[in-house]
Amino acid sequence: MSHHHHRPRMVATPAEYMAELQAMTRRQFLANSAWGIGGIALASMLGTDKNSNADTSQLHASGSAIDPLMARAPHFAARAKRVIFIHLAGAPSQHELFDWKPALVRHNGQPCPDEYLKGEHFAFIKGHPTLLGTPYKFARHGRSGQELSELIPHLASVADDLCIVKSCTTDQFNHAPAQLLLHTGDARFGGASMGSWLTYGLGSETSELPGFVVLVSGDKTPDAGKSVWGSGFLPGAFQGVQCRASGDPVLYVQNPEGVDRAARRRMLDALQDLNSMAAASASDPETEARIAQYELAFRMQASVPDAMDIAHEDPATLAAYGATPGKASFANNCLLARRLSERGVRFVQLFDWGWDAHGTSATDDILTQLPKKCKESDRPVAALINDLRQRGLLDETLIVWGGEFGRTPMAEFRDGKKDFFGRDHHPHCFTVLLAGGGCKAGTTYGETDELGCRVVRDPVPVKDLQATILHLMGLDHRRLSYLHAGLERHLTGVTPDARVHAGLIA
């Protein structure tokens, strides 16, 4: 099976597609916007056998398309079956948590050497900045001797499960474009998110829940908005479904007052008949996506409330995460991520806002706000790793933890105010944690210079990180593609320069 031209089509073969095109009159063609100019380009490409793809072009006997989220085999043997991606929106400081630099502490308060500032552009730093050494102590932990901050004692307790990637880089230093690049492979709006790509390539392990679920904490969505879990140019069936930890888990999925489940079933059957007729005449992928989404929503009415009810968990598990039933929190979301993953959800995305420590006040500094955020997140992430291991799920579940970029080794001191300590945005190096899912546990990968300003060994650009995650899931980033606007689009971009880092794989 090949995913190289893995674009959904609603007819069995390219020849049948061409026959259907030829049977249309010019008036039908122009009246039906579902075909458009893209249909002409697609029809010309469908004239070659290399575009045939049996797994996405089969038809049910009834004539309607298969479920787009039906599970599909990977390109090669996968190390992981599912991903839990924990994004700390705003970008946590690697200097305070993972990248201990004694030289930076020794030179704290001194002017930054000129060689570090040549050609440099900062988001907020003005003038000649001073170096800022971390106020926190570091120690080695576990048999692996991983060096971690006193701010994250629970993560330190699972140090031997962590693959600490200290050499991630990006080319964006503002939040929204950096988040878009990390999650969609494109710093501009319109790209398809990683969770969408994975469910497009692999389908879902469950028919009762969405293949891609999003949980948000910290009272705000990411700076880039919901585009970071959007399907972009991929069919809408692959976009993330945002669930809430309190109240109705999914808005508008329940029946309205006066409509029981049997009536809803009859309504959906009638609607599916109409949509199937439209799909048969127009072969619009979005119509097929709509059919699948209506059916999934109906199944979710029964499955989602159970999956999202952490009150079923035993008290010891709730205590380990620091979770409280009925309360919206990052801890609850980590526990929900485990519950969703063990039920077969392919990609669970956690966004936690509040990590943008500029040091303009006590609400965004490294002495007050950062410890607060670490206290909220440290215990539940460690509990998630332990919980998955105890359930035999850690080896097949890849956990990714990190922000969209790093923080400067220099103090920001915005507008010359020195009442609070914080750091500016820094694209040249940041730290991402991996755990489970075939990554190399108990290791540190990559290295930065003595001040933690630039990568000096094994740089991992964002696109390399994406390629490596796809590889762990059994997908070749160069073969997983979708034709859009005349280009073969990939999560890692239209050029094949991203690479998989073997040093991150066990």
Q: What is the pLDDT of residues 276-324, one digit of tens each?
A: 777 677 666 666 666 666 556 555 565 677 788 899 999 999 999 999 9
Mutual angle of helices 369-390 and 330-342, in 10-degree steps:
20
Given a cut of 50, whether residue 331 has pLDDT beyond it is yes
Please indicate whether residue 28 or residue 150 has the higher confidence score (pLDDT). Answer: 150
The single residue listed with the structure tokens 């089509």 is 9
The residues, ordered by sequence, that sit 6+ positions from 409 with a Cβ below 8 Å of its Cβ are 95, 101, 104, 112, 116, 131, 132, 423, 426, 451, 452, 453
**For residue 490, what are its two tokens?**
């990939």
User: What does DSSP assign to residue 64?
Assistant: P
For the stretch 152-203, pLDDT in tens is 999 999 999 999 999 999 999 999 999 999 999 999 999 999 999 999 999 9
Q: What six digits make up the tokens of 72?
A: 């599909």
Q: What is the predicted pLDDT for the residue at 494?
A: 86
At 385, is the secondary structure helix, strand, or coil?
helix
Give the tens place of pLDDT for each residue, 2-21.
Answer: 444 444 433 344 454 445 44
pTM (2 decimals)? 0.82
Site of tokens 């888990």: 249
Question: What are the residue ranges of helices labelled H in 348-422?
Answer: 369-390
Positive or negative: CA dihedral 374, 380, 386, 392: negative
Q: Specify which residues 170 forms β-bridges with.
A: none
* Sequence-distant (≥ 6) Cβ neighbours of residue 48 within 8 angstroms: 14
The pLDDT score that the predictor gives to residue 28 is 46
Per-residue pLDDT of 214-239, as tens digits, reads: 999 988 889 999 999 999 999 888 99
**CA distance readout (Å), 173 to 127, 148, 182, 279, 330:** 18, 25, 12, 44, 25
What is the distance between the alpha carbons of residues 355 and 12, in angstroms, rounded to a whole number? 49
| pLDDT higher than 80, residue 392 | yes
326 versus 245: which is more confidently predicted? 326
Q: Which residue has the tokens 């045939």?
A: 52
467-490 pLDDT, tens digit per residue, is: 999 999 999 999 999 999 999 999
